[in-house]
Structure 1
């Protein structure tokens, strides 16, 4: 079949139309399926300028094609008149004609015109096309790999653009929060962030510069955190070794009143404590018992808070928090390890953080902290004072009225709903 017989003489032929006609006469055609090529062409439509009414016409033509024609030596030819397409799309015949021309010039299909201009398809008993005239989608089969590569590149660029846009929105906010935690660096970080936003035109370049600056912020905060840990390392877990039981009765009688005043706390003058001083082993046991009861109470609260909170739920519900601190919550140790950075991000004082840890346990406090940071990142106007919000959640945990799992399920559900709308 020659190009002159494939394209009617009344058409205005362009180089793109001729290129489609040449591809339609190819013999080496890769196999594909109707569902695969339909999905691929729809994804590629915006790349090749197919939208609106043209996209609607393309969708109808792909739906009318037969699945068997996309395999082997088949030719996926669709025979439908412009008038019928106009009825199906609610457009004029002239608009449909322009849409078909756009599909052909995009290289998705080719004109296969009959001498009379009619469109029809004759098939044998096996369903194979004997002769057909209409829109031939063989060019789409020939360009299968090219179109697939174009779609993959387009999606990568689109994702990179979205990531850059989100980074430009998220990172300045995180840097400003860090400035509140480290006033000595606030002016330097603010000026650097403003210089990146004002001096760089493209969002990708802005995102790259802000990510580098934010990495410096995190490195500085981690360094300060390590220095704090080292400075407090000698104050943790030290128990004085005081033998309060006298060896002999004579040793007990030799004890002076000054020693008694050193043993008895000056702030506690109750008769009960005085009686305990007379039996020092009983007093020590009572103090240890009270400490164990406090730990047990915090452990019970922590167990109740985290009973229905698996690490996977925290990972799905607090995605923005993980992106902000650059830590994946794959294990509870990751959440606890990121607590210091998260604390600074919401402006929570160290005293309030230690108080929360003492009341509900380190793991429960870290999970609450991640939830508060996630909520404040998603909607900064929703929580005016994240630090106070954290303390309120700790109070509710102690009272037994905190349902952390419901909050995390809500955050995860809202995240999934946003993904499904995209």
Structure 2
């Protein structure tokens, strides 16, 4: 028959079968190997979320442990401590009585300590003639010794989860960087593909990432991001293979070039004097290297152009260029500055540059001077519209998320 193995709480505090089970298990699982109490405390601190404990509960447990004189728990030791609430409050950094009782209850509920209540509910000890404690009423720390291995396993589980979470966040960061730079390169280099749609998919995925995500959310998003990255790489790989094939065909085939001929594009923009000399002016060589971006992408980056378009709609490049002429006048850009941009960038891209300036008009002191500077940098091959458009698309997407949030 078991005697004195189970004690019931004093006063109105109810007894539960869970408390009975915990006390009986403690009696059945006695250990002989000593356990370092502060190591057990560190394991509990690591696993506190799994145990359902708050930081203040840990402060209370820390205070309780200071009332046990040894640094180890050993079988045969008396592990019941009996401090008053006032003493506990002092060692728990001044925690209030109500909070103290609540977190003591949480420690008992988690099965880390047991109550050993006296007949009157007070905490005290009976001592023998030599001063040794014969019987004590208070809080039994024995579950900490008996569950030391289990608590260490929980702490290792939490540590492994943290590492896995960290790796997932690192992988997501790298995947986001890859997608961002691959999209920018694709647009800047004028690669074939619906990069605007890819950008929309990317922004949609990013919008699903909460401010404080858990590991499952990060891993799910990483899987979808990785699929998007693979699709982008595959399309760029196809583009590279196509260009390589076209280059080989050109080199191996019979290529006849008339050095005196001029392209239609050059004939449209070259002066009569240049055509008479059959020379290729520098500005035309620069013009030929400029990429024309999809109109849908440009309008997504520069939606304010629609405010100045006839009927509020832009259906083709002719409409866009006509709107740019109106915007040029509104921004007080001189005809010569705009003409210079057309000669350097091409008519479409000059209109795009003007649309980008319109989007950032509040941050630009002189729109005409800024356009001249862009033209000068483009002539030195130091400027491309691709990164500017991508930056505006990202800014507009972020602003849209703020409004909807």
Q: Give TM class, smaller chain.
A: 0.3 to 0.5
**TM-score of the superposition, structure 2-length normalised?**
0.46
